[in-house]
Amino acid sequence: MSWFEKPATPSVRTPMEAIWAVCPACKSYVPREEWTAAQRVCSRCNFHDRLTSRERIDLITDAGSFQELNAKVTFADPLKFEDASGPYAAKATATVAKTGLNEAIVTGNAKIEGIGVVLGVMDFRFLGGSLGSGTGDRILLAAEEALAKRRPYIVFSASGGARMHEGIVSLMQMARTCAAIARLQGAGIPYISVLTDPTTGGVSASYAMVGDINLAEPKALIGFAGRRVIEQTIKQKLPDDFQTAEYLQEHGFLDHIVERKEMKAFLAKTLRYAGC
């Protein structure tokens, strides 16, 4: 068979997303291997991309030390809410199937450099990390676990705010979670809040901002209402860095901004300083 008669071999193309990651902030293309090795932190602009709850748990806890609590606590639909896009219950059920999560936060006992803690890690994939009745229940129950065992409580927030599908039941979680944390603080048990991108709405207005120490990752979006809503209300142009972690630290709302690669060591150092 001559060369021009040889059947062509189909070429195999690697999908672009398997080769490159795109930074959500600066839109730079970063080699996928570099992106993964850097724990999804952009080497160009230092933006810290979102992690899943399980990824973050693996990153900050001692290997094999995490034991989940209240895994069966899930969402409720007290209003039988439905809008033009369909029933809330159907959306939540589909999210459970897609993410493997029952709620927007995973809680449990863990160790950080040998120090026992109770940990809560929010996951933005579950309905935008929204605060629903199940989320509030998990946060409250984890706080009670910390109180009973006298262990420090650490919560990583990543949320678009209250889950309005549940109406006033969702908004009540702001008060319930803060009350649970107040009991910890009254008992002298440390509560550390870590705000990641994004932490907004009712979460930023409740348990995310009442830590004994409030930390954040670099460039995280933190605020209550959106920039456009505020600008339209006050009829003023806001600074470019408004609602960033750096802006909040400059104005006294955060104690420290911690790089992702340094978070575990920083938490352990802080806990030791607190006598844990």
CATH number for position 242: 3.90.226.10
Residue 6 within a domain: no
Angle (CA) 137-67-150 rounded to 5° is 70
Please say whether the beta carbons of 195 and 207 come within 8 A: no
Q: Identify whether residues 30 and 159 lie together within a single domain.
A: no
142-173 confidence digits (pLDDT tens): 999 999 999 999 999 999 999 999 999 999 99
Tell me the torsion sign for CA atoms 201, 202, 206, 207: negative
Q: Identify whether residues 38 and 61 lie together within a single domain.
A: no
Q: Identify whether residues 119 and 34 lie together within a single domain.
A: no
Residue 102 within a domain: yes
Domain count, the chain: 2
Q: Identify whether residues 80 and 187 lie together within a single domain.
A: yes
3-state secondary structure 85-111: CEEHHHHHHHHHHHHCCCCCEEEEEEE
- Domain of 232, in residue numbers: 50-273
* Cα–Cα distance measured from residue 96 to residue 103, given in angstroms and rounded to the nearest whole number: 8
Given this model, what pLDDT does residue 269 score? 97
Task: Note down pLDDT in tens along the chain; length 276 residues.
Answer: 555 565 666 655 666 777 899 998 899 999 999 999 999 999 999 999 999 999 999 999 999 999 999 999 999 999 999 999 999 999 999 999 999 999 999 999 999 999 999 999 999 999 999 999 999 999 999 999 999 999 999 999 999 999 999 999 999 999 999 999 999 999 999 999 999 999 999 999 999 999 999 999 999 999 999 899 999 999 999 999 999 999 999 999 999 999 999 999 999 999 999 988
DSSP 8-state symbol, 150 = T
Q: Identify whether residues 99 and 23 lie together within a single domain.
A: no
Q: Identify whether residues 36 and 107 lie together within a single domain.
A: no
Q: Identify whether residues 205 and 76 lie together within a single domain.
A: yes
Q: Identify whether residues 81 and 192 lie together within a single domain.
A: yes
DSSP 8-state symbol, 212 = S
Q: Identify whether residues 122 and 226 lie together within a single domain.
A: yes
Q: Identify whether residues 204 and 252 lie together within a single domain.
A: yes
Percent of the chain with pLDDT over 70: 95
Pairing of strands 153-159, 20-22: unpaired
